[in-house]
Chains A and B, each alone.
Chain A
Amino acid sequence: MQSKRKLKAAHIVEALQSEPVDIHSLRKLSISPGGLLSRKLRCQVWPHLLDVTDTHLKCPKNVRMHPECRQVQLDVNRSGGRFPSTMPKEEVDILQEQLTDLILSVLCTHSELNYYQGYHDICVTFLLVCGKQLSFPLVERLSTYHLRDFMVRSMDSTADILNYLIPILEKSNPELVKYIEKSEVGTLFALSWLITWYSYVVPKQEDIERLYDFFLSCHPLMPVYFAAQIVLDNADNIMDGECEMARVYQVLLQTARKTDLPLETLISKAADFYIQFPPSSLSVTAIDYYKDGLAMSTFCDYALVAQHELPDAVLRRRGLYSSDRTESSVNTRPSNADSTHWSAAKTAAVAVGGAVGAAAIAGAVNLLEWAPHLLGYL
Chain B
Amino acid sequence: MNPNNDTEPYDYLFKIVLIGDAGVGKTCIVQRFKSGVWVESQASTIGVDFCMKSCEVNGKKIKLQVWDTAGQERFRTITQSYYRSANGVVCAFDLTRQSTFLNVEKWMNDVSKFCEENVSKLLIGNKCDLTEERAVSREECAKVGSYYSVVDYIETSAKDNTNIEASFIKLATVLLEKHSSSNLQQEPNTVFGLGSRTKPVKSTCC
A residues near B (Cβ < 8 Å) are 71, 74-75, 77-82, 114, 116-118, 120-121, 153-156, 158-159, 183-186, 188-189, 191-192, 195-196, 200, 242-247, 249-250, 253
Contacts and interface: CB of A to CB of B under 8 A. Distances in A.
B47 interface: yes
Given A79-B43, A195-B46, A246-B50, 9 more contacts: A75-B44, A78-B23, A80-B40, A120-B44, A192-B46, A244-B193, A245-B192, A245-B194, A253-B50
Given A74-B44, A200-B43, A247-B6, A117 B72 contact: yes
B81 A186 contact: yes
B191 A155 contact: no
Contacts of A158: 78
Nearest to B41: A80
Interface in B51-95: 52, 65, 70, 72, 74-75, 77-78, 81
Given A159-B78, A184-B193, A78 B46 contact: no
Given A156-B77, A188-B78, A250-B50, A116 B72 contact: yes
A297 B23 CA distance: 35
Classify the secondary structure of B's interface with A.
loop
B161 interface: no
Given A185-B194, A245-B192, A253-B49, A155 B44 contact: no
A155 B78 contact: yes
B78 to A, nearest CB: 5
Contacts of A243: 191
B42 A188 contact: no
Nearest to A243: B191
Among the interface residues A78, A117, A155, A158, which one has the most CB atoms of the partner chain B within 10 A?
A117
A247 B48 CA distance: 14
Nearest to A153: B74
A57 B121 CA distance: 50
Nearest to B70: A117
A117 B48 CA distance: 12
A1 to B, nearest CB: 34
B176 to A, nearest CB: 19
Contacts of A200: 43, 46
B132 to A, nearest CB: 19
Nearest to A196: B46
Nearest to B13: A246
14 contacts: A71-B72, A74-B22, A78-B41, A81-B41, A81-B43, A117-B46, A118-B46, A120-B44, A155-B75, A184-B195, A184-B196, A242-B191, A246-B65, A253-B49
A191 B6 contact: no
Given A185-B194, A186-B194, A247-B6, A114 B47 contact: no
Contacts of B41: 77-81
Contacts of B48: 188, 191
B77 A155 contact: yes
Closest 9 CB pairs of A and B: A80-B41, A192-B46, A184-B193, A191-B47, A118-B46, A74-B23, A184-B195, A192-B47, A117-B72
Contacts of B31: none
Contacts of B192: 244-246
A52 B196 CA distance: 48
A114 B191 contact: no
B44 A245 contact: no
B162 interface: no
Contacts of A156: 77
B45 interface: yes
A245 B50 CA distance: 11
Contacts of B46: 117-118, 121, 191-192, 195-196, 200
